[in-house]
Amino acid sequence: MKHHLQVFRAAVRMTIWDYLAQPMWPFWLTITPFAFALVAVFLYRDAPPKTFALYVVLGSGAMGMWASALGGCSFSMMQERRWGTIVYTFTTPASQLWIAAGRSLVHAVIGLMTLAEIALISVLFLGIQLTIASPVAFLLAVLLTILAFAVIGLFLNSFFMLTRSASDWQNALSRFLYVFCGVMYPISVLPDWLRPFSYVLAPTWSLKAIRLSVEPGALGNSDYLMNIGLTLLLTMVYLLLAWYLQGVTEHKLRISAELERI
């Protein structure tokens, strides 16, 4: 376990070093979230103030988190393949799962920064009033959202290891996830046959919990607690699946010899 934690910490540190060494990071952290916020503003400009605040800030913030969590993980994997470093990390005793966990967490936290940035832009430039009646409930829901995004990144890591087109898959997947999680609208507007996809995504429930946490007394609200519970449950399921898939993926890669292909 000590070695796993060391690998996790190393992956966190390396991802931060690498992120800050890229000339595009100020752009990713500013322009992209701003674009998401603008889309949300135009979508909800005629909505009541409360809906406007929730969906502009949370909706575009969640889109930013998705983009960062998925995009970051797929980009890291593509980069590892392009640079040939994946071959070296694979032959170390470090678990690929713990490397991916560190990487996914950093990208999810960077996603949270986009949420904070959008909140700031909304308050300062768009005149949106943000009131969080239950800060503890809000914080808990936000932390769980980060965890959910990080674990989804971890879960998809196995898949990204197998493919040479991780970025293309990430682009395709993120669009679906925007739709299924109801980042810009309640999932009740989706057709019945699409909703099961939403139900199996942990961020669907954590985002609902965030929306409920702006109401007073959220911690005693059974609806809020149920959403938190479902987020935790699904996150645990993703973790187990990620752990299982990692073993299967590594075995498959040692047979298929596709790890080095770019």
Residues within the interface to another protein (CB under 8 A): 2-3, 6-7, 9-10, 13-14, 17-18, 21-22, 83-85, 87-94, 99, 251, 254-255, 257, 259
Closer to another protein by Cβ: residue 124 or 255: 255
Smallest separation, CB 9 to another protein (Å): 7
Residue whose tokens read 């470090």:
94
Give, rounded to a whole angstrom, the gap between the first and last alpha carbons of the chain. 33
Smallest separation, CB 2 to another protein (Å): 8
Token output for 146: 């980060």
Token output for 260: 């080095």
Smallest separation, CB 191 to another protein (Å): 33
Contacts of 150 (CB under 8 A, 6+ apart): 69, 101, 104, 105, 107, 108
Judge contact between 35 and 121, C-beta under 8 A.
no
Closer to another protein by Cβ: residue 30 or 85: 85
Closer to another protein by Cβ: residue 186 or 247: 247
Closer to another protein by Cβ: residue 22 or 129: 22
CA angle 169, 186, 123 (to 5 degrees): 90
Smallest separation, CB 160 to another protein (Å): 18
Task: Count CA atoms within 13 Å of residue 139 on its CB side.
Answer: 3
Closer to another protein by Cβ: residue 91 or 188: 91
- Closest to 156 in 3D by CA, of 246, 79, 62, 30: 246
Closer to another protein by Cβ: residue 85 or 129: 85
Smallest separation, CB 66 to another protein (Å): 25
Cα–Cα distance measured from residue 149 to residue 22, given in angstroms and rounded to the nearest whole number: 23
Token output for 86: 């994946």
How long a stretch of residues is the chain? 262
CA angle 237, 202, 28 (to 5 degrees): 120
Distance of CA 121 to the CA centre of its chain: 21
Smallest separation, CB 20 to another protein (Å): 9
Closer to another protein by Cβ: residue 14 or 241: 14
Smallest separation, CB 204 to another protein (Å): 35
